[in-house]
Amino acid sequence: MQPYFNKMTAGGYHDIEVEIEALKEDRPAKIKQLQEARALGDLSENAEYSAAKRDLRHLESRLRFLNKQLQYAQIVKPSASGKIDIGKKVTIEFLDDEFQETYTIVGKQEADLKNKKLSFDSPLGRALTNHTKNDVVSVTAPDDQYNVKIINVQI
């Protein structure tokens, strides 16, 4: 059985690397807090010790998770074709209210609607993938079905 690779953009991969470095830099301070709390005495009723231990455990868990993300990452470089895929910017028009929006299609881990980053695996992302400019696409979301027109596709 072959491993499953998480598709992501080079920018998303870089963001994970930056977060890992920040966590590694924070680790010595968390260890020191744990040592100082341990020195306070009785561990069974030591809230500082419990909190420091929990914080360090969360940091270590996040590091393991992010390292797995990188281990199984597949960086997708957008092609020059006009088809929508990971890494491309797409401007769409929602046909029911003629509202236009521009999104960057990204991997699952990078999705962030506040920053206009749309996962390729979301209902809208799946519907748009492999379509081109001027296509009208039907999107089936959990609570609704709607149509969008692709206005522009760019790298």
Residues 3-61: tens digit of each pLDDT: 678 899 999 999 999 999 999 999 999 999 999 888 877 767 778 888 999 999 999 99
Domain boundaries, the chain: 6-75, 89-154
pLDDT score recorded for residue 87: 92
The CATH class for the domain spanning 89-154 reads: alpha beta
pLDDT score recorded for residue 17: 96
> In the structure, what pLDDT confidence band is assigned to residue 82 with cuts at 50, 70 and 90?
confident
- Which residue matches tokens 């990078």? 110
Rounded distance, CA 96 to CA 108, Å?
27
pLDDT score recorded for residue 46: 76
pLDDT score recorded for residue 98: 87
Which pLDDT tens digit goes with each residue over 121-147?
A: 999 999 999 999 999 999 998 888 999
Beta bridge partners of 137: 148
**CATH code for the part of the protein at 6-75:** 1.10.287.180
> In the structure, what pLDDT confidence band is assigned to residue 1 with cuts at 50, 70 and 90?
low
